[in-house]
Amino acid sequence: MAAVVTENGSEDIDILPSGLAFISSGLKYPGMPNFAPDEPGQIFLIDLNEPNPRVQALNISDGFDKASFNPHGISTFIDEDHTVYLYVVNHPHMKSTVEKFKFEEKQRSLVHLKTIKHELLKSLNDIVVLGPEQFYAMRDHYFTNFFLVLLEIIMDLRWTYVVFYSPGEVKVAAKGFSSANGITVSLDKKYIYAADVTAQNIHVLKKHENWDLTQVKVIHLGTLVDNLTVDPDTGDIWAGCHPNGMKLLIYNPEDPPGSEVLRIRNVLSEKPKISTEYGNNGSVIQGSSVASVYHGKLLIGTVFHKALYCLF
């Protein structure tokens, strides 16, 4: 079974333990196609417990600039009192901020609480929240000028990094990435998994008490790996990937970018098992950026195209 659940992008997905999934949609990103350039971004919600899940757009509280909302990576945090917070990497006017929202489940709405800015929080891509005010974020380019970014990619400068943020301290926690992209955390919270899209690999990083990260290993995938999620049942990594990067940058509707979903089992072993769980030439979904699972159900998101719901 497979069904399309959104249009106009579903760049990142985060699923709560309850089965409610948040989807960021409408990303406008330099060099990437966009089918609705004049529409602001949105956060959608889908309940994976329903037999035929349907998405609904979440209303955002007044006082937040919804017109310039341009959501990228997202991450949830559940507090001790069971309050759900959603953190969103936002690119208003092509800048980078992190927005903190409180999720009101009954009202199906988001209450904006604060905007986080910092000198190190530039050109952000993804985020993983590990405490009420603590998170890691991925800086995917050192430069913000588009032409300098191209030069950075061509020269493979490896100047991008993982940033740790808390109200009392902001620092580079790990560096040396060609283009730091998706990030997530292991089930036991001891390891951070960080994708390097242009290097086509995943860095497994050990998290220390001072929030520094040290490299344990690198898993090479041989494809452009975007966002990462962890299966809540098994701890496996699921990766949304781009089998052909040039088709993303030079978009041709007659020959669209394909989609690829990889699963990495036994992550910490000497030989992790890598398997292809989904592949498509672009006839169904184009530009897969994330794959997230919940008890035998799979959501595949894309940078600018549709999202796909599957049973596996």
| Sign of the CA dihedral running 59, 60, 66, 69 | negative
Q: Residue 126 annotated as binding?
A: yes
Task: List, in sequence order, every residue forming a beta bridge with 88; answer none if it has no partner.
Answer: 74, 99
Q: Residue 280 annotated as binding?
A: no
Q: Residue 181 annotated as binding?
A: yes
Alpha carbon separation from 138 to 106, 122, 292 (Å, rounded): 32, 9, 19
Q: Residue 79 annotated as binding?
A: no
Is residue 141 flagged as an active site residue? no
Which of helix, strand or coil describes residue 247? Answer: helix
Strands (E), 178-258: 180-185, 191-196, 201-207, 213-220, 224-230, 237-242
Cβ-based neighbours of 110, under 8 Å, separated by 6 or more: 43, 58, 59, 60, 61, 86, 101, 102, 103, 104
Q: Residue 202 annotated as binding?
A: no
Q: Residue 12 annotated as binding?
A: yes
Q: Which of 72, 203, 242, 305 is catalytic?
A: 72
Give the sheet arrangement for strand 84-90, strand by strand.
59-60, 109-116, 97-104, 84-90, 71-78
Tokens of 131: 């405490």
Instruction: Report d(CA 296, CA 181) in Å as an integer.
Output: 26
Q: Is 65 exposed, middle or buried (CB count within 10 Å of its CB: 0-12, 13-18, 19+)?
A: middle
Q: Residue 11 annotated as binding?
A: yes
Q: Cite the annotated binding site by residue number.
A: 11-12, 74, 125-126, 181, 226-227
Q: Cite the annotated binding site for Ca(2+) by residue number.
A: 11-12, 74, 125-126, 181, 226-227
Give the residue numbers annotated as catalytic, written as ranges.
72
